[in-house]
Chain A
Amino acid sequence: MMFKPVLLWSDALFFLLIAVALASVFYIRRDEHLRLGWRKVGQSRVGMAAATLLLVFVGIALLDSLHYRERLPGPQATYAVEVRSALDALLGGLRSGAEKTYSAPLATHSFAKETLDHDAGRDFPRLRHGGAHLGASAEGWGADVVRRIVQGLGIGLIVWLGLWLAGAPLRRAAPHLAWDAVFVTLLALCLTAGAVALLAQGYHVLGTDKVGQDVLYLTLKSIRTGLLIGTLTTLIMLPAAVFLGLLAGYAGGWIDDLIQYLYTTLNSIPGVLLIAAAVLMMQVVIDTNPEWFATAAERADARFLALCAILGITSWTGLCRLLRGEALKLREMEYVQAARALGVSHARILARHVLPNVMHIVMIAIVMDFSGLVLAEAVLSYVGIGVDPTTISFGTMINSARMELAREPMVWWSLAAAFVFMFALVLAANLFADAVRDAFDPRAVK
């Protein structure tokens, strides 16, 4: 085998999540109310455009979750210690083509002056990979860039046309959905991706950071971190929040008091402090048990998962409280009373009457919490209690990029890249969340 597949814990959970999502699609198709709601989401242009963008992000994250270790040359089957992903393989050139230090986007020369070998003075050295095809003097840069962009746009257009044709059966099957928004978004994405892809083959499109890593590569890798934080955390906290919230509202009495005490206590601990304390504890556990992890990647992954779990534990209280209020109201509904009069057990009432009637709240909460979590990761990583510093995330990018603003001349591209991508992800999530809420909230006010 050329490589040995590696399944990190976060990968496994991510795949589990995708499986759950696919399973819920089947559940939704059977339930008329949910189907109607999601159809409304599908008819919203803004919602569909956002969903398209989100799906592209998910695709990138998925590629980045297929991990493996390369087989080292030699007779015996030994594998590299470094764990790579399918995305890394795809972006091979970007990853390996590191420079020495900073360089501006599409630059041919380094950003920092160095004492060059054979000259007497200090000048900007030529980049190893950036614009390497132009030769030592970097002539024809402008024309080359323009040529690549035009070619890229062309390729993007062709790819888009292919998608358009391939999507025809879908459009026929469900004509009332906002396909125009989907394909406009796809067009914009294809054109951009085409131009960038072709440019990236010759240059560092977004420049390089302090240690010379390609910024575009770093940004693409950050997507998985941000996306997983938003989704895995929810996966972890959802069962507890739903179970405890419905139980508290429906059962009342001392059970309600106990659960209320639990979440009031957890809520009163300042969030950041709780997260910080827990993360530090986790770090200590990880540090004192190095034998549990075969590779550095697994160690970073453990910390990442710990962060998701901790964020989950500290954020379940909001949904729990909401569901408790809802369960309290539902308990008094006449169809619940009728079920009791018919002798239906409490467990069945919760499963058949209460839970289905709060699903819309759960869905709205899941989608709306996502963006908050992505933003929270950035802040936490910045403060140092987020992901492991070796993990590539928006937070760590901002962290390392922050000091560069003060330099003369200013290094802005790392920060700008992180900003643009994070903004795109969070904005898409917010717009999608709005579309979901408008479709499902019975009291939605425009």
Chain B
Amino acid sequence: MTLLRVRDLAVSIGAVRPVAGVGFEIARGETFALLGESGCGKSLTALALMRLLPAAARIERGSVKFAGNELCGFTEAQMRAMRGGRIGMIFQEPGTSLNPVLTVGAQIAEALRQHTGRAATERVVELLAAVGIPEPAQRAAEYPFQMSGGMKQRAMIAMALAGEPELLIADEPTTALDVTIQAQVLDLLRDLQRRRGMALLLITHDLGIVARMADRVGVMRAGRLVEVAKKEDFFRAPAHPYSRELFAALPENLPAPEKSAPAGRPALLAVRDLRVHFPIRRGVFRRTVGHVRAVDGVDLELAAARTLALVGESGCGKTTLGKAILGLQEKTEGAVSLAGRRRTGLVPAQMQMVFQDPFGSLNPRMRIGAIIAEGRADADVDALLAQVGLSAAMKMRYPHEFSGGQRQRIAIARALAVGPQLLICDEPTSALDVSVQAQVLALLVDLQQRLGLAYLFITHNISVVAFLAHEVAVMYLGRIVERGTADEVLRDARHPYTRALLAAVPRIDGQEGERLLAPGDPPSPVHPPAGCHFHPRCPRATARCQADYPATSVLSETHQVRCFFPD
């Protein structure tokens, strides 16, 4: 039975039409995934359904029939009754989407009052419990900033459920969350949907999430729906060329690079017992009362022309580690050696960094040529541009004229200008679309093969790791908990956290491995758990895990893990 029917919906902002005629249907209780890359108009479509478009945008034409009602003809007052009451919506960034000065409970109560007339405290607590928040009564009195990202998103879901909607629109609800938390939230959504018979319009760019959650899929591109299909059909044989492009761009489908450089060569980079501790100051005289142990004793080795992937979720310290190795961040203890010689501080000619945000890593007021030549005034800018696949004519242009992928290439060219042997890549493709990510990854592989560059590749994306890395190190709360070759870690993970991480990634084949191996939230580095850092979330934890931190167990020449039960 059709709950929502959209026909020929078009939205315009000034002279541009970001949504140019979209039509689809959602049945009761069904999950419909709206899939597309950035800028395709999927978020605007969702906002148009709720009539929450930004001030400059208008619905140009189209029909939106919800449970028989034509929403496009509704007055604002009628729409208000719909919003929250029959159609709920949750957004991508829970941090900014919740009012920071009202308690979570107050915000949920507001929604309750609006749609059911009463806002009983028990009902609020009930809702918080229904979304899986532990100690809901206490949480209701907390403010959003006191909650982790995952909990904030759950609270948003609770708020959206207050009016018992028949349709929930979720606009990229897990994009801002860590992989393990994402798995929890997705499970929660599916669970709630089943129990309430709610339809779900899930907006995403991630094929894995589509595989896991959707009943039917719609692929959007440049404001139009290019394909609508049932999930099984879509994954078996995508019909539209664009859909096929999306699949082809997945790292697992990219042609596997020649990981030629053999192991056993002398280490280019050697890190011994690196620690970065930030002091916590309290009191009238700002005395140091403790430390945040962002990096807490890390050993690493990397040979030339090899890639070491550093995997971990937010807060594990991987970015701090990268900056400390580079010399941008002062280290508290430990030694970093390059080509056998100890180094303190920056060594521009040997180590460079590629940053995550393509929009923040280039000075908007400098021309590309000047940016690339910044480290070395006599750099051959034309050759460098050619090396990263851009034309020399782009020298005189400004960063804002380029796309995200192109900007990352420029950033890489800038790093290469000084001729380093080692590139530290801090999540360089996390902010890029899948198709663009494929191009940048291909470029990195090419450069490694041609120039013999070594990469310390920081990421949380497992499929990129599988594509690129020779070796993998998994980081949790400032320490490396497992390391080995890519094969060893990805196919034969021994640490429970690595297993949970791998299981949490939504798989394209739709199969689900062991579920929910890491409940709860990652701990904060200010108050690390005693003993093994992972034990509060570990299904195998024993008393011994609470008492001591496990020493390193050597499983093979290359494979090491820090767990008391590595089998």
Contacts and interface: CB of A to CB of B under 8 A. Distances in A.
Contact of B398 (A32, A340, A341): A32
A342 B375 contact: yes
Given A333-B360, A357-B363, A344 B374 contact: yes
Chain A: interface residue count, which band? Answer: 10 to 19
B50 to A, nearest CB: 23
Nearest to B356: A334
Interface stretch (B225-233, B275-283, B289-297, B346-354): B346-354
Interface string B533-557: 0000000000000000000000000
B361 A338 contact: yes
Contacts of A333: 360
B357 A334 contact: yes
Contacts of A31: 365
Given A341-B328, A342-B352, A342-B418, A335 B361 contact: yes
Interface string A337-370: 1111111100000001100110000000000000
Contacts of A338: 353, 355, 361, 411, 414-415
Nearest to B326: A341
A176 interface: no
Contact of B353 (A341, A356, A357): A341
Interface string A200-230: 0000000000000000000000000000000
Interface string A99-113: 000000000000000
B363 A335 contact: yes
Interface in B395-423: 398, 411, 414-415, 418
A29 interface: no
The listed residue with most B CB atoms (<10 A of its CB), out of A31, A33, A337, A357, is A337
B-side binding surface: helix, strand, loop or mixed?
loop
A335 B362 contact: yes
A352 B346 CA distance: 20
Interface residues of B, number: 27
Contacts of B355: 334, 337-338
Contacts of B531: none
B383 interface: no
Contact of A341 (B348, B357, B365): B348
A171 to B, nearest CB: 26
Nearest to A355: B365
A335 B355 CA distance: 9
B376 to A, nearest CB: 8
Contacts of A353: 363
B526 interface: no
Contact of B348 (A33, A342, A357): A342
B367 to A, nearest CB: 9
Contacts of B365: 31-33, 356-357
B513 interface: no
B374 A339 contact: yes
A353 B160 CA distance: 44
Contacts of A337: 323, 328, 353, 355
A99 to B, nearest CB: 59
A339 B362 CA distance: 10
Contacts of B323: 337
Interface in A291-338: 333-335, 337-338
A144 B235 CA distance: 93
Given A341-B346, A343-B348, A33 B374 contact: no
B522 to A, nearest CB: 23
B495 to A, nearest CB: 32
B360 A344 contact: no
A343 B361 contact: no
Given A32-B398, A334-B357, A341 B352 contact: yes
11 contacts: A32-B398, A333-B360, A334-B357, A337-B355, A338-B353, A338-B411, A340-B328, A341-B328, A341-B353, A342-B375, A357-B364
Interface of B: 323, 326-328, 346, 348-349, 351-353, 355-357, 360-366, 374-375, 398, 411, 414-415, 418
Given A338-B411, A341-B352, A352-B363, 20 more contacts: A31-B365, A33-B365, A334-B361, A335-B360, A337-B328, A337-B353, A337-B355, A338-B353, A338-B355, A338-B414, A339-B374, A340-B328, A341-B326, A342-B348, A342-B418, A343-B349, A352-B366, A353-B363, A357-B364, A357-B365
7 tightest A-B CB contacts, nearest first:
A342-B375, A343-B348, A334-B361, A334-B355, A334-B360, A335-B363, A356-B365
